[in-house]
Chains A and B, each alone.
Chain A
Amino acid sequence: MRIADAEHAAAPRGAGPRGEERVRPRLTAAIALGKATATLSRALGWGGGTTVPGRVARVVEPNVVALLSARLRLGSVVVAGTNGKTTTAHLLAHIMRARGRSPVHNRAGANLAAGIASALVAHADVLGRPRGDLGIFEVDEATVPRVVPAIAPRTAVFLNLFRDQLDRYGEIDAIAGLWRSGGAGWARDLGVVANADDPLVADAVRDLPGRLVPFGIEDERHGRPALEHTAEARYCYRCGTAYVYTVTYFGHMGRWRCPGCGAARPEPEFTACDLAPLAPDGSEFAIRERETGGVARVRTVLPGLYNVYNVLAAVAAARSLGVPLDAAAAAVASFAPAFGRAERVLVDGREVRLLLVKNPAGFNEVLRVVLSEGPLPVVLIAINDRTADGRDVSWLWDVDAEMLVGRATRAVVTGLRAGDMALRLHYAGLPRDAIEVEPAYDHALRRALDLAAGGRLYVLPTYTAMLALRAVLQRWGVVRGFWET
């Protein structure tokens, strides 16, 4: 891999004396109005203003994203994919901060154009001068082709594609098509950091310009021989032949090839090997870089194989920005989980661990992590069906909830669709009287803490249920607000 010496590089987009520092009255008005909206939103208790300020600013200056991101001296990185965007973007920001950079990034989950605009507005002064030198933006899968021409990233990270929120996106094919169709908006010197183990990603990025930097896991001891039934990529997206996997790691991620057309997993540039899972407290592994032959050991508190992919992606992206491999790996060790993604909270000395669930493959991995230390007295599951969660809860039936049978004594379920989760657990084999439906978030949390009897309590919420539970924890004074994190 060619590594630009970007750690000290000037802006990659021919910036410099291009007049960015020129005062643009409309941009100034957009920023001022956006900032005022954010302040107002907070004052009125509407939340952190993670999207509204951007929406307001874009009305005044539709090019606000392009104008402000062009002023970031080291350019931008976008992170896309169904699972792990927030964790990967935060990891990369953490690594870059450790290198003395000052990244601008959007808030967890605020990954549509308005969320990115909000972040840029919040990190600029009214003249449009950025307080930061590098953009790191998580971007919604379907928003990729819309924001990429504006941001003109130097590196794009593609993590995975799962059937997630199909009611919003239609079908998974459509997303892969959108990424490919974004082709014209991509810079020719783009670094395409892509998951080699996901055939959908490999197919979706194959026509993108730039240089491909594939990453993948190579440690068959931690593989599974067969595809899980949640796996979406059973049949080749080019020719319709069933893929052949010699090993799978997580969902449809693994060593794949198509016997029909010959498509196959690209040879990874960055490989995770020699894995030692420390679940639920993290994992340890080696990252190997093919071109340089470099190897670095990594230790992370992030649990599960899905987080091995996130760490690999963040390290590969950091390398594309010129960070030495051992420095990137070392920075990973001091990373604390982001907002609901394996986040730890103490309530009166008792540990609560929040593990976001969004789709069957991720839910299954989370279940493997929480059950890795043996039987539990209770788990708390919180399912909502708002837009950000996916309005269709039928995916719960693709979760292997059977894993909990005999290994969790009770389940407390809450959220708008607690009833659906309760039914899923019952049909999985949990007795009716082991399932407690508690619609109120605070009561559910209290009840689950009581049942945990001083032990660690695992909480598995969908996105907006996580926000609601965090709001309870905030009222109890044990976590800070959304916009302060």
Chain B
Amino acid sequence: MTPVLRICHLYPDLLNLYGDRGNIMVLAQRARWRGVDVAIVEVTLGGTAPSDADLYFLGGGEDRQQRIAADDLAARQGGPLTDAAAAGAVVLGVCGGYQLLGRFYRPAGGGDLPGVGLLDLWTEHPGAGSPRLIGNLVVQPAGDGPALIGFENHGGRTYLGPGARPLGRVVSGFGNNGRDGGEGAVAARVYGTYLHGPLLPKNPVFADRLIREAMERRYPGCELAPLPEVLEEQARASVLTRTGRPAGA
């Protein structure tokens, strides 16, 4: 029987600021190119996320959209998402979606946005006078693997608690808060990052890792055949050149 990857895309109409749907396209195509069927469920305001998906994705939104999504997420999806993560599903949040996976987001003017608390972290906006953290971002992932490459654009500064580790160290750019050199967060199979661009097209090794982890539960020992990565290497090289890093780093 053909294996199936079940993806749940949360709030695609609200959290879609930086080409975020590109992440879904990459997950789906890279699975299909390996002969895996893909089922994508989109959940938006008033809906309820299934608790049996293999991978959950949340993108970023503008302040207004993020507030609308945050209330609905906390009220309706916290349960299914927590259950799924506890059962080993992969959860990926990018930018605003990353912030909402934490405990709370504190805007400059107060009025905290609730998070779902899947990651032990919180985010604060330091005030209207503080610059947004904007630019190309290169991160060396914890453990092994090629650099993660993308673009960041966020006003909030994220701080990790003891229950979460950074996804990697900033090589070029700002990362979580522009101060402690950490970027993103990971706890078990829950991932958050400020890397967009979107994240996955230029980071195929990371994309395949997510697909493998998402499928492992129901298809133990599943292998993903290698794919040609010439275009990916060209795209990665252009960012590394723009940030003053040698190609191939």
Contacts and interface: CB of A to CB of B under 8 A. Distances in A.
Contact of B234 (A166, A172, A419): A419
A424 interface: yes
B235 interface: yes
A278 interface: no
Given A240-B68, A419-B231, A432-B228, A394 B151 contact: yes
Contact of A422 (B26, B153, B235): B235
Contacts of A391: 134-136, 151
Interface string B26-68: 1001000000000000000100000000000000001111001
Interface stretch (B13-21, B77-85, B101-109, B176-184): B13-21
Given A171-B63, A392-B18, A435-B231, A420 B202 contact: yes
Interface string A378-399: 0000000100000111111110
A167 interface: yes
A368 interface: no
Contacts of A416: 238, 242
A225 interface: no
Interface string B126-165: 0000001011100000000000000101010000000000
Contacts of A422: 231, 234-235
Nearest to A429: B29
B65 A235 contact: yes
Contacts of A167: 134-135, 151, 153
Contacts of B231: 419, 422-423, 426, 432, 435, 437
Nearest to A227: B13
The B contact surface, by secondary structure, is mixed
Interface stretch (B167-175, B193-201, B209-217): B193-201
Interface in B206-246: 228, 230-232, 234-238, 242
A417 B239 CA distance: 8
B75 interface: no
Contacts of B234: 418-419, 422, 437
Given A235-B14, A392-B151, A392-B197, A397 B235 contact: no
A419 B22 contact: no
Interface string B90-107: 000000000000000000
B25 interface: yes
Contacts of B237: 419
Nearest to B150: A394
A163 interface: yes
29 contacts: A166-B17, A167-B134, A167-B151, A167-B153, A171-B62, A229-B13, A229-B16, A234-B13, A234-B14, A242-B45, A391-B136, A391-B151, A392-B151, A394-B151, A395-B18, A396-B19, A397-B21, A398-B21, A416-B238, A416-B242, A417-B235, A418-B238, A419-B231, A419-B234, A419-B235, A420-B235, A423-B235, A426-B231, A427-B29
A-B CB proximity, top 3 nearest: A397-B19, A419-B235, A397-B22
Given A391-B134, A397-B201, A419-B232, 20 more contacts: A170-B132, A173-B63, A229-B13, A234-B13, A235-B65, A242-B45, A391-B135, A391-B136, A394-B22, A397-B20, A397-B198, A398-B19, A398-B21, A418-B238, A419-B231, A420-B238, A423-B202, A423-B232, A427-B201, A435-B231
